[in-house]
Amino acid sequence: MADARFETLLELMERLRAPDGCPWDREQTLESLRRYLIEETYEAIDAIERRDWAGLAEELGDIQLQIVFQSQIAKENGWFGIDDVLGHINDKLIRRHPHVFGSESADTAGKVLQRWEEIKAEEKRSGAGNHDSSVLEKEGLLKNVTRAQPAMLEAHEISKRAARAGFEWREAEELAEKAGAEMRQFRDARACRDSDRTEDKIGDLLFLLVNAARRAGVDPELALRRANRKFRERFGCIEQQLRDKGLTIEEAGVEEMEQLWR
Do 194 and 250 sit in the same domain of this protein?
no
**Side-chain half-sphere of 228: how many Cα atoms within 13 Å?**
8
Please enumerate in sequence order all residues whose Cβ is within 8 A of that of 261, keeping only pairs 6 or more positions apart, or say none.
234, 238
80 is a domain residue: yes
For residues 29 and 17, the answer to whether their CB atoms sit within 8 Å is no
Do 196 and 227 sit in the same domain of this protein?
no
Please enumerate in sequence order all residues whose Cβ is within 8 A of that of 3, keeping only pairs 6 or more positions apart, or say none.
none
Spatial separation of the C-alpha atoms in residues 45 and 58, rounded to whole Å = 12
Q: What percent of the chain has pLDDT over 90?
A: 61
Predicted confidence band of residue 128 (pLDDT cuts 50, 70, 90): low
210: pLDDT strictly greater than 50: yes
Do 211 and 232 sit in the same domain of this protein?
no
Q: Can you give the pLDDT at residue 135? A: 43
Spatial separation of the C-alpha atoms in residues 177 and 172, rounded to whole Å = 9
256 is a domain residue: yes
Do 239 and 187 sit in the same domain of this protein?
no
Range of the domain at 178: 169-218
193: DSSP letter? T
Q: What is the DSSP code string of 1-47?
A: -HHHHHHHHHHHHHHHHSTTS-HHHHH--TTTTHHHHHHHHHHHHHH
56 φ/ψ angles, rounded to the nearest 5 degrees? -65, -40
Spatial separation of the C-alpha atoms in residues 18 and 133, rounded to whole Å = 36
Do 232 and 257 sit in the same domain of this protein?
yes
Q: What does the pLDDT look like over 32-89, one tens digit per residue?
A: 999 899 899 989 999 998 999 999 999 999 999 999 999 999 999 999 999 999 999 9
Do 29 and 80 sit in the same domain of this protein?
yes
31 is a domain residue: yes
166: pLDDT strictly greater than 90: no
Do 241 and 202 sit in the same domain of this protein?
no
3-state helix, strand, coil in the chain (%, to 5): 75, 0, 25
Spatial separation of the C-alpha atoms in residues 49 and 64, rounded to whole Å = 20
149 is a domain residue: no
For residues 81 and 74, the answer to whether their CB atoms sit within 8 Å is yes
For residues 63 and 33, the answer to whether their CB atoms sit within 8 Å is no
Please enumerate in sequence order all residues whose Cβ is within 8 A of that of 140, keeping only pairs 6 or more positions apart, or say none.
none
Do 206 and 256 sit in the same domain of this protein?
no
Predicted confidence band of residue 1 (pLDDT cuts 50, 70, 90): confident
Burial class (CB in 10 A: 0-12, 13-18, 19+), 210: buried
Do 194 and 227 sit in the same domain of this protein?
no
Domain boundary, last residue among 95, 112, 130: 95
User: Which of 211-215, 226-230, 244-248, 249-253 shows the lowest mean pLDDT across its residues?
Assistant: 249-253
Do 187 and 251 sit in the same domain of this protein?
no
231 is a domain residue: yes
Average pLDDT over all residues of the chain: 90
174 is a domain residue: yes
Q: How many domains does the chain have?
A: 3
Do 180 and 252 sit in the same domain of this protein?
no
What's the distance, CA 85 to chain centroid? 20
Spatial separation of the C-alpha atoms in residues 106 and 114, rounded to whole Å = 10
The mean pLDDT value for 197-224 works out to: 91
Do 89 and 13 sit in the same domain of this protein?
yes
Q: Can you give the pLDDT at residue 133? A: 45
Domain boundary, last residue among 95, 129, 151: 95
176 is a domain residue: yes
228: pLDDT strictly greater than 60: yes
Q: Can you give the pLDDT at residue 136? A: 43
Domain boundary, last residue among 79, 95, 111: 95
107 is a domain residue: no
> 154-174 as b/e, with b when 16 or more CB fall inside 10 Å?
bbbbbbeeeeeeeebbeeeee
